[in-house]
Amino acid sequence: MKIFVIHNRKGEILSVSKVEAMPEGLEQPFGLMGEDEFLLEVPVKKALLELDATQFHEKYAVDSEKKKLIKKS
Amino acid sequence: MADIKRVNYFTHQFLVEKDFDDEQEYHVLMRRRHNRGNHSWGVAEGLDVTKTKNKEVTISSGTAIDNDGQEIVLLEPLAVDLTAFAANTDVYVTVSYQEVFDEADHYTSGGVDNYTRITERPRLDVSTDSPDPLSGDGSLITLARVHLDGSGNVDAGIDGTMRKAAGSKIAPGVVGTNELADKAVTAAKIANGQVGASELANGSVSNSKLANNAVNAAKIAGGSVGAAELANNAVTTDKIIDKAVTAAKIANGQVGASELANGSVTNSKLADNAVNAAKIAEESVGAAALAKNAVTTDKIIDNAVTADKIAKGQVSASELANGSVINSKLANNAVNAAKILSGSVGTAELANDSVTVQKLKTHLYWDSTTSIAANAERGFNCLAVSLDKPRGASLLIYAYSTTNGARFEWREQSTTGGSPPYWINQGVYFRNLSNITISVRFKIYEILEN
């Protein structure tokens, strides 16, 4: 299991993918990305695994500078 | 020395009484010498004793000779009264020589008192004393034993067995073969045990001369009893010594089932190939009786081998005839992938709706759950194919949303890349048609050609 997060410069989460399987060797597996879209793979934690993908949008954001998932206050 | 003298008569001889007495005496004595010397004493003829009344027997006329050669002559039958004897007794009737003067011969004249004759009258005696008739001195001749019953009457059975018959005396060795008339020597004349082998002419002892059971084993010369001498059925089992009956003694075909002891025909007694089908009782050939590999194909009748007869696991491919395993012979779920020849399952073999995704040879590119913002689109690349290595891939997409009220769609998109274009990217793009963020669960497979 891998968890990828696509976010914008502001750190807003645009999409979350919890991936069981994905292609290998592709330069860019997540299709065409917009100019203000960035991909972040986050460490898998139990708490994250229990969340539905849409719940990431509500509960988390990304610290763009630190490339880190953070909880919303 | 005493001499025998007889009267010698001559003319003018003066004869006196003594001369006449001598004349008589010479003949009497010579006759008695003859009787003694040439005859044994006993009854010469007649003198039979018979019952004539209850208490009377009568002696018939007859002649006997005593041991002195004196003739005892009864000229007429003579009755003997037995009333004087007690009942239940045996009385013996005997006779002896006796001279008496009969008054009829009495001469009395001229001063002479004498008898002109001497009468030879037999003396008859009846006594309860038992004489010894055979070994006695012969002065008394026993004629019979008469039994008087409880009433003193004469029993009908008068015993004359003690009578001794007078006979001629013959010096030892005098009677030769010539003197014997043909057939004169009867069995009674031959003393017991006197006829030995030398007295028997060759071949004279015929079958009829042999008494029953007279010929015992000792009388039979060794080897003399051949087949001809044996009566039919004469040789019984107990006449045969143990193990005497060899195979050579048994005629062909004579040993039937009844002659064989139970269990006597062992395997070694059977000739090779002697036991054919007709010799084997039905149901008697069990598994133990069959040699290994004895039951060949041609021994098994058609349809005889039922399922019960086949050991588990014994029917392999070589035992199955081509085309013999039809559909009904296959158990449910028996044909697994290993049983199917590669390339054998064509369209015709596949049931409708039988090919699920799992049955397709695929490569799973994506297995993911992705959130898509309202009205946004999110793409997932699957493969990049080099243009000089064409690889037409069909993508199989399986997707659904777990978000209530979600509406979404997807499309496949191929995008060339590189300069000049070196590759083609194939991807799938999901578009959220809702006004809310939705979660899409999806899998993307590549269906492989080979």
By residue range, what is the domain housing residue A9?
2-23+33-71
- How deeply is A18 buried, as exposed, middle or buried, from its count of CB atoms within 10 A (0-12, 13-18, 19+)? buried
In this prediction, residue B391 has a pLDDT band, given cuts at 50, 70 and 90, of low
Asked if residue A6 belongs to a domain, the reply is yes
Model pLDDT, residue B385: 74
Which of A4, A6, A17 is best to mutate for the B interface (most B CBs within 10 A)? A17
Distance to chain B for A55, nearest Cα, Å: 9
Instruction: Look up the ipTM and state it.
Output: 0.94
Q: Would you say residue A43 lies in a domain?
A: yes
Residue A28 belongs to some domain of the structure: no
pLDDT for the residue B257: 82
Per-residue confidence (pLDDT) for residue B450, from 0 to 100: 59
- Virtual CA dihedral for B256, B258, B264, B269, nearest 10 degrees? 0
A67 within a domain of the structure (yes/no): yes
Domain assignment present for A15 = yes
Cβ A64 vs Cβ A11: under 8 Å: yes
Tell me what pLDDT residue B337 has.
Answer: 81
A55: in domain = yes
The answer to whether residue A61 is domain-embedded is yes
* Residue pair B360/B447 in contact by the 8 Å Cβ criterion: yes
Q: Is the dihedral of CA B98, B103, B104, B109 positive or negative?
A: positive
Interface test with B, best of A1, A6, A22 (most B CBs within 10 A): A22
Number of structural domains chain A divides into: 1
Kindly list the residues from chain A whose CB atom is less than 8 angstroms away from the CB atom of residue B429: 31
Q: Are B376 and A15 inside 8 Å of each other by CB?
A: yes
Instruction: Tell me the pLDDT band of A69, cut-offs 50, 70 and 90.
Output: very high
Q: How far apart are CA A33 and CA A39, in angstroms?
A: 9
**What was the pLDDT predicted at B273?**
86
Q: B226-235, pLDDT tens digit by residue?
A: 888 888 888 8
Residue B26: pLDDT band by 50, 70, 90 thresholds? Answer: very high
pLDDT tens-digit readout, A23-34? 887 777 888 888
Q: What residue in A sits closest to B436 (Cα-Cα)?
A: A54
Show which residues on chain A lie within 8 Å of chain B, measured between beta carbons: 6, 13-23, 26-32, 52-54, 56-57
Cα nearest neighbour of B414 on chain A: A31
In the structure encoding, which two tokens stand for residue B220, read together? 């039979």
Which of the residues B362, B363, B368, B377 would you substitute to probe the A interface, choosing the one with the greatest number of A C-beta atoms within 10 Å?
B368
Structural domain contains residue A16: yes
Residues in chain B: 450
Q: What is the pLDDT of residue B363?
A: 85
- For B175-212, the pLDDT digits (tens) are 778 878 888 888 888 888 888 888 888 888 888 888 88
